[in-house]
Amino acid sequence: MAREYRTIEEVTGPLMLVRGVENVKYDELGEIELADGQIRNCKVLEVEGTDALVQLFESSIGLNVEQSTVRFLGRGLELAVSPDMLGRVFDGMGRPNDGGLDIIPDAMRDVNGLPINPAARDYPNEFIQTGVSAIDGLNTLVRGQKLPIFSGAGLPHAQLAAQIARQAEVLDSEEQFAVVFAAIGITFEEADFFISDFRRTGAIDRAVMFINLADDPAIERISTPRMALTAAEYLAFDLDMHVLVLMTDITYYAEALREVSAARKEVPGRRGYPGYLYTDLASIYERAGRIKNKRGSITFVPILTMPDDDKTHPIPDLTGYITEGQVILSRDLYRRGIQPPIDVLPSLSRLKDKGIGAGKTRKDHADTMNQLFAAYSRGKEARDLQIILGEEALSEIDLEYSKFSVAFEEQYVSQGFDTDRSIEETLAIGWELLSMLPANELKRVRQEYIDEFYIWEEAEACE
């Protein structure tokens, strides 16, 4: 039996100092028993001689320094995993909170995981059809990728994420597919939106959910993403499933991390966030991926709201440096009624080039993608000019680009949250739009593809 200590010296914020401990290890899990028999969890942040600095996972309300006892469990934070997790809802610490029974564990897994050996990774290159044109056509998602959604307060990122979860079915029905959803510090309503959406579409049967709501202890948020990814790793690499991990909202996670760091009086980095924020975020994001000789995969779509829509804020900034691209939502497009309001120019999927082309999507995909980007970018520039100087100031060709960019937003990007477009449909819409421009303007498309796909009637109709 583990020794119990009645030597709590001080409690400040989420931290507690216990004196006179023996044989306590760094990162070990502990339990605090309150005077009334309540059990709270904690973990060791630092050991120095016989002093242990521990971090509480729950609130410290009602904790009495004199009468509470601490025992250390001799292990780190673990999650019980089993195939029965599918269809269940857990709290941020991995305890069932849907009123169901406890999971009978198939295995206990350390939630911190271990870094994947880069030499064991398999390169993600299989196309995932999300049914969203702005993603499939221009910022293609592949299996094993980590592609965050950068959003802002009040933008419909939840709808987009739910749409992806609903539509991102694997084309090959032989493969098993699962969704792991982690709510980190979001409101009940937002979490409820996801749960009801999963129920409505039946996706709940192949989903595992970890819910930490805004009024749950903030410190629990540090564990929640790790719980979710531990479950995802089990499903992907033990049970050969293709797992899509949705996580919202990373911003609250980083704030919880800052809270602990501030309580420890660490030297802050930018905007008060700890200097190790990058390393910490990486230890979460990098758990996505594929492994050689394993059938499953973890595709990771974290959502974060950019404070004040600022992309250079440390959270989106560091995330962008770790993830393989980003999908950015724009307030401007949202106001104009474009749904989903994906701003395609600053959005990027770094792995798209490996997931598209002949045999994966279609041979002309890369060329049309580049052309659409270039034309839309030029069209937007022309529109800016038009606003300042009026239509007359534009050359004839710039006017065509300007019209193209409007049509592109309305037809290509704005498809609504219920439309599921196949990649063929997406490519066809792309060619319809490109055919608004003269064929000799399409410099990024190979001549053979222009010959095959360009719609000449469309061009004439425009003239």
Partner 1 sequence: MKRQSQGEVIKVSGPLVIAKGMRDADMFDVVEVSESRLIGEIIEMHGDEASIQVYEETAGLGPGEIVVSRGAPLSVELGPGLIGGIFDGIQRPLDTLVAMEGDHITRGAFAPALDREKEWEFSARCKPGDRVTGGDIIGVVQETEILEHRVMLPPGKAGTIVEIHSGVFKVTDVVAILETDRGAREEITMMQRWPVRIGRPYVAKMSPSAPLFTGQRPIDTFFPVAKGGTAAVPGPFGSGKTVIQHQLAKWAEADVVVYIGCGERGNEMTDVLMEFPKLPDPKTGYSLMKRTILIANTSDMPVAAREASIYTGITIAEYFRDMGYSVSLMADSTSRWAEALREMSGRLEEMPGEEGYPAYLGSRLASFYERAGIVRCLSSDDEERVGVLTAIGAVSPPGGDLSDPVAQSTLRIVQVFWSLDSDLAYRRHFPAINWLTSYSLYQTKVDAWLNDNIAPEFSKLRVDAMTLLQEESELEEIVRLIGQDALSDSDRLKLESARSLREDFLHQNSFDEIDTYTSMNKQFKMLSLVMQFYYEAQKALERGVAFDRMVGLPIRDDIARFKYVPEQEVDNWYALRSEQLLEEMRALSD
Q: Does 196 bind partner 1 (CB under 8 A)?
A: no
Least distance between partner 1 and beta carbon 230 (Å): 13
Q: How far is the CB of 147 from partner 1 (least distance, A)?
A: 12
What is the total count of residues that contact partner 1 (CB under 8 A)? 80
Considering the complex, state which of residue 237 and residue 431 has its C-beta at the smaller distance from partner 1: 237
Nearest Cα residue to 219 out of 243, 184, 193? 184
Nearest Cα residue to 416 out of 348, 356, 320, 342:
342
348 touches partner 1 by CB under 8 A: yes
Residues 197-256 that bind partner 1 (CB under 8 A): 237
Listed in sequence order, the residues at least 6 apart from 384 whose beta carbon sits closer than 8 Å to its beta carbon are none
Site for partner 1 in 62-91 (CB under 8 A): 76
Neighbours of 303 (CB within 10 A): 22
Q: Is 275 in the site for partner 1 (CB under 8 A)?
A: yes
Per-residue DSSP letter, 266: P
Interaction between residue 399 and partner 1 (CB under 8 A): no
- How far is it, in rounded angstroms, from Cα 96 to Cα 85? 9
Q: Does 17 bind partner 1 (CB under 8 A)?
A: no
Q: Does 359 bind partner 1 (CB under 8 A)?
A: no
**Do 394 and 386 form a contact (C-beta atoms < 8 A)?**
yes
3-state secondary structure of 195: helix
Select from 170, 263, 322, 439 the one that contacts partner 1 (CB under 8 A): 322
Interaction between residue 111 and partner 1 (CB under 8 A): no
For residue 48, the minimal CB distance to partner 1 (Å) is 4
- At residue 231, φ and ψ (nearest 5 deg) are -60, -45
Cβ-based nearer residue to partner 1, 65 or 108? 108
Any contact of residue 279 with partner 1 (CB under 8 A)? Answer: yes
Structure tokens at 10: 């001080």
The binding track of 404-443 with respect to partner 1, each residue x by CB under 8 A or -, is ------------------------------------x--x
Residue 381 Cβ vs partner 1, minimum distance, rounded to whole Å:
9
The residue from 15, 89, 155, 318 that contacts partner 1 (CB under 8 A) is 318
Q: Does residue 243 contact residue 299 with C-beta atoms inside 8 Å? A: yes
Q: Comparing C-alpha atoms, which of 97, 109, 155, 141 is closest to residue 360?
A: 141
Question: Alpha carbon 255 to chain centroid distance?
Answer: 16
**385 interacts with partner 1 by CB under 8 A:** yes
Give the nearest distance from C-beta 33 to partner 1 in angstroms: 22
> Considering only residues 2, 35, 393, 461, which one is a binding residue for partner 1 as defined by CB under 8 A?
393
Closest CA to 332 of 398, 404, 380: 380
| Pairing label, strands 149-151, 297-305 | parallel
Q: Which of residues 249-268 bind partner 1 (CB under 8 A)?
A: 266-268
Minimal distance, residue 425 CB to partner 1, in Å: 23
Q: How far is the CB of 266 from partner 1 (least distance, A)?
A: 6
Question: Kindly report the CA angle at 434 between 432 and 439, in degrees rounded to 5?
Answer: 120
Q: Confirm if 337 and 331 have CB atoms less than 8 A apart.
A: no
| CA dist., res. 227 & res. 230, Å (int) | 5
Among 326, 402, 415, 435, binds partner 1 (CB under 8 A): 326
* Residue 168 CB, nearest approach to partner 1 (Å): 19
Amino acid identity, position 378:
R
